[in-house]
Structure 1
Amino acid sequence: MRITLVKKILADGSPCAKCRDVEEKLRENDQLRLIDETIIADERDSDSPGLALAREHQVNRAPFFLVEEEGQEPRVYTVYFKFVKEVLRPLSA
């Protein structure tokens, strides 16, 4: 399983507040170690890797998590608590 966190940088160059909050929750709950990669969706650069992933998976919210497992379609989570319940909790069990 490969987990990617996509977080946003706003047009004014500041980090997305919700992204910062979710990243802090991941850190507080010792879940950040389960994230394989963090990619930035930079509103100032329409070709940024995070915006490309958002377009590819038709996501218009940040942060989001992309969960990839061999032989399966990637799953996208835009809600932290649902992501924890369905992906991270089973990994920790």
Structure 2
Amino acid sequence: MKITLVKKILADGSPCAKCRDVQQKLEDNDQLRFIDQTLIADVRDDDSPGMQIAREFNVERAPFFLVEREGQAPEIYTVYFKFVKEVLQK
């Protein structure tokens, strides 16, 4: 399984508040070790890796998690608690 976290950078260059909150929850709960990569969706750059992934999977909310399991279609989670319950706690 591969887990990608996509966080957003706003037009003024600051990280989105929800992204900061989720990052802090991941750190506080020792869950960052499960994240294989973190990509940045920079709204000032449509070609940033996170923006490309968001377009590919038609996601408009950040942060989000892309979960890729071998032999299965990728899954998107836009809600931290659902991601934890359905992916990390299984």
TM-score range, shorter chain: over 0.9
Q: Stretches of 4+ moved more than 4 A in 1?
A: none
Query: Partner letter of residue 54 of structure 2?
Result: A
Query: Partner letter of residue 11 of structure 2?
Result: A
C-alpha root-mean-square deviation of aligned residues, in Å? Answer: 0.4
Superposed counterparts of 1:37-76, under 5 Å: 37-76=37-76
* Aligned residue pairs, count: 90
Alpha-carbon distance, 1:17 to partner = 0.5
Identity among equivalent pairs (%):
76
**Cα deviations by residue, 1:14-41 (Å, 9 ceiling, x for unpaired):** 0111000000000000001100000000
Q: Aligned partners of 2:71, 2:38: CA distance in 1, in Å?
A: 22
Contiguous gaps of at least 5 residues in structure 1: none
Contiguous gaps of at least 5 residues in structure 2: none
Which secondary structure state, in structure 2, belongs to the residue aligned with residue 44 of structure 1? coil
Q: Aligned partners of 1:72, 1:20: CA distance in 2, in Å?
A: 30
Q: Which residue of 2 aligns with 1:20?
A: 20
Query: Partner letter of residue 47 of structure 1?
Result: D
Q: Which residue of 1 aligns with 2:6?
A: 6
Q: Aligned partners of 2:47, 2:30: CA distance in 1, in Å?
A: 31
Which secondary structure state, in structure 2, belongs to the residue aligned with residue 70 of structure 1? coil
Alpha-carbon distance, 1:57 to partner = 0.3
Which secondary structure state, in structure 1, belongs to the residue aligned with residue 89 of structure 2? helix
